[in-house]
Structure 1
Amino acid sequence: MPLSPPPDLVLLPMIQRALDEDLGLGGDVTSMALIDADQQANAAIIARSAGRVAGLPCARLCFAQIDDTVRFESVVADGADVSAGEVVARLSGPTRSLLAGERVALNFLGHLSGIATHTQAMVTKLEGTKARLCCTRKTLPGLRVVEKYAVRAGGGVNHRFGLGDAILIKDNHILAAGGVENALKSARAHAGHMTRIEIEVDTLAQLNAALPHKPDVIMLDNMDIQILRQAVVIIDNKVISEASGGVSLQTIAAIAATGVDMISTSAITMSAPALDLGLDFVS
């Protein structure tokens, strides 16, 4: 499936908030003090380390919002792998405008490329299995749409975007509802025919209680590899199986080898280090 970024209309409010935060009421006072308003410059955004790129539309919009005369040309596309020293984008325009947008553009690009890079590293570990890697709702407030996009750029897939997309019964729901069976009965009675139902279980007893109610997905939460393997056998492809908890670059291959359909983790959005990129003036 082609990688489609969120539309500009969705991106612009978060871009503008970030620019307002950085520029404040006074603007870039350093550049205004040192650089003539009519001075022009050429620049390049360069990867300082190897990784997978995501967030170029955000970087482009950062400069466009400051000055629509800035020319921004992507040299690679989101989802591309780059080496250290490789040019990611080229820019030209008023020097003041390039400097004013530099940090916010690099913040978006580095953060989202870091997510894509970390996701891609985990996806590589799934080769030879049927498992797919998906993200969670553990995202930075206000950035979910772009962080989930970055996961897709890294080869992962998205879990539900928000609470209204599907019913996901977690441990606190089970406790409040009076058990697995009560929770699933209530969910089925409430859900329309288009609403998917998923339930989180952390024991084989809960799994056996859930299966007769035929949820669409059963999340196997924080199970060790031996128990996870038993759970996959019990499920026997009757529903989609999803492993969650304790997922890392060191453990994901073993989790995938149990035969689960999906592996979900917050690590790809919450623990991914930013990709190191910089903006350099060029002649």
Structure 2
Amino acid sequence: MQKAPYLTPEALTAFIRTALAEDIGDGDHSSLASIPAEARNRAHLLVKSEGLLAGIELAHLIFSEVDADLRVTQLLNDGTRVKHGDIAFTVEGKAQSILTAERLVLNCMQRMSAIATYTAHLTSLLAGTSAKLLDTRKTTPNFRLCEKWAVLIGGGVNHRYGLFDGIILKDNHVDYAGGIRLAIEATHAYLARTGRQLPIVVETRTLAEVQQVLDTGGITRIMLDNMAPTLLRKAVALVAGRFPTEASGGINEQTIAEVAGTGVDFISVGALTHSVKSLDLSLKAY
């Protein structure tokens, strides 16, 4: 699994605290009202559908943030293939604390597991090719950290994390800048002026635009957007290994193998993070 610079203790703590504040507000009144403060209990994470498990490491952090005295016993690891009836972990401690943490743990793990599952599935369809699967910025606001993390667990590769750590000159950037050459030249001037070193990806829509990128140079990768496989093959041949290539635009499980067969180096799929159905998980007292 590639290194994820966004998975810092500070970022994880900030995410968890914000999410808990959203859910708890001025108190978990259901638990405070019905469960004695001194009551202790235990629960386990029950898997109720098939898929790839993700979010165990995050669950540890959530329980610890809610109550440092909760004790989690991990039975399965992130990236484990699971089926109905599997138990991922147990948690013991103050009953009120378990109940307060329950929904955030489930919300995170269900969605992360779904993303990891779909990522693993699409990655399996790339077998026999050199193409790597990329995610996109089509993520849930304030949940990107978890969604990008889940892609890694599923065997995919993170694209840039946000607007700040990579430059992608898409069609609108190119059109607003007055063309590909002007967009690239302006980008280099900006990077020199600001003292930044960032990768530059340029989106192309036609073979003529691919040629313009090749003529200009000074970029990191060429994105081939919404091109049919026949056109992708021509684009890859035109690039001839001078820059890595990335296919994007409406690629799904029915088309991804054919796209990979064109020789592109990367395939980006927004559906990894915007169109998955959560894996069915439940935290049950026992």
Report the TM-score range of the alignment, normalised by the length of the smaller protein.
over 0.9
Out of 1-10 and 75-84, give the one that drifted further. 1-10
Partner of 2:201 in structure 1?
198
TM-superposition CA deviations, 1:102-124 (whole Å, max 9, x none): 11110011111111111111101
Give percent identity, aligned residues only. 41
Partner of 1:263 in structure 2?
267
**Structure 1 residues 195, 67: CA separation in 2 closer, same or farther (over 3 Å shift)?**
closer
Q: 2:280 aligns with which of 266, 276, 279?
A: 276
Tell me if 1:63 matches 2:67. Answer: no
Task: Give, in whole Å, the separation in 2 of the partners of 1:90 and 1:152.
Answer: 25
Out of 31-40 and 118-127, give the one that drifted further. 31-40
How high is the TM-score relative to the length of structure 2? 0.92
How high is the TM-score relative to the length of structure 1? 0.93
Local SS of the residue matching 2:104: helix
Local SS of the residue matching 1:49: coil
Consecutive unaligned residues of structure 2, counting only runs of 5 or more, are none
Task: Give, in whole Å, the separation in 1 of the partners of 2:3 and 2:79.
Answer: 8
**Structure 1 residues 167, 32: CA separation in 2 closer, same or farther (over 3 Å shift)?**
closer
Task: Give, in whole Å, the separation in 1 of the partners of 2:187 and 2:2.
Answer: 34
Q: CA deviation at 1:32?
A: 2.5
- Checking the alignment, whether the CA contact within 8 Å between 2:220 and 2:244 is kept in structure 1 is yes
Partner of 1:126 in structure 2?
126
Partner of 2:86 in structure 1?
86
TM-superposition CA deviations, 1:251-272 (whole Å, max 9, x none): 1111111110000121101112
Task: Give, in whole Å, the separation in 2 of the partners of 1:176 and 1:269.
Answer: 28
Partner of 1:251 in structure 2?
255
Pairwise CA RMSD: 1.8
Task: Give, in whole Å, the separation in 1 of the partners of 2:2 and 2:216.
Answer: 36
Partner of 2:220 in structure 1?
216
Q: CA deviation at 1:70?
A: 0.9
State the AA in 2 paired with 1:234.
Answer: L
Local SS of the residue matching 1:191: helix
Task: Give, in whole Å, the separation in 1 of the partners of 2:76 and 2:9.
Answer: 19
TM-superposition CA deviations, 1:130-170 (whole Å, max 9, x none): 00001111211222222111110000001111222222111
Mapping of residues 46-61 of structure 1, within 5 Å: 46-61=46-61
- Checking the alignment, whether the CA contact within 8 Å between 2:116 and 2:150 is kept in structure 1 is yes
**Structure 1 residues 212, 228: CA separation in 2 closer, same or farther (over 3 Å shift)?**
same
Task: Give, in whole Å, the separation in 2 of the partners of 1:6 and 1:74.
Answer: 20
Out of 208-217 and 146-155, give the one that drifted further. 208-217
TM-superposition CA deviations, 1:233-266 (whole Å, max 9, x none): 1111111000000111111111111110000121
- Checking the alignment, whether the CA contact within 8 Å between 2:2 and 2:157 is kept in structure 1 is no
Task: Give, in whole Å, the separation in 1 of the partners of 2:109 and 2:268.
Answer: 24
- Checking the alignment, whether the CA contact within 8 Å between 2:108 and 2:146 is kept in structure 1 is no
Provide the aligned length of Structure 1 versus Structure 2: 281
TM-superposition CA deviations, 1:211-232 (whole Å, max 9, x none): 1222221000011111111111
Partner of 1:39 in structure 2?
39
State the AA in 1 paired with 2:42.
Answer: N
- Checking the alignment, whether the CA contact within 8 Å between 1:6 and 1:146 is kept in structure 2 is no
Tell me if 1:6 matches 2:7. Answer: yes
Local SS of the residue matching 1:242: strand
Tell me if 1:233 matches 2:233. Answer: no
Q: CA deviation at 1:3?
A: 6.9
State the AA in 2 paired with 1:217.
Answer: R
Partner of 2:23 in structure 1?
22
- Checking the alignment, whether the CA contact within 8 Å between 1:3 and 1:153 is kept in structure 2 is no
Q: CA deviation at 1:278?
A: 0.5
- Checking the alignment, whether the CA contact within 8 Å between 2:50 and 2:81 is kept in structure 1 is yes
Task: Give, in whole Å, the separation in 2 of the partners of 1:121 and 1:14.
Answer: 28
Tell me if 1:173 matches 2:177. Answer: no
Partner of 1:188 in structure 2?
188
**Structure 1 residues 234, 97: CA separation in 2 closer, same or farther (over 3 Å shift)?**
same
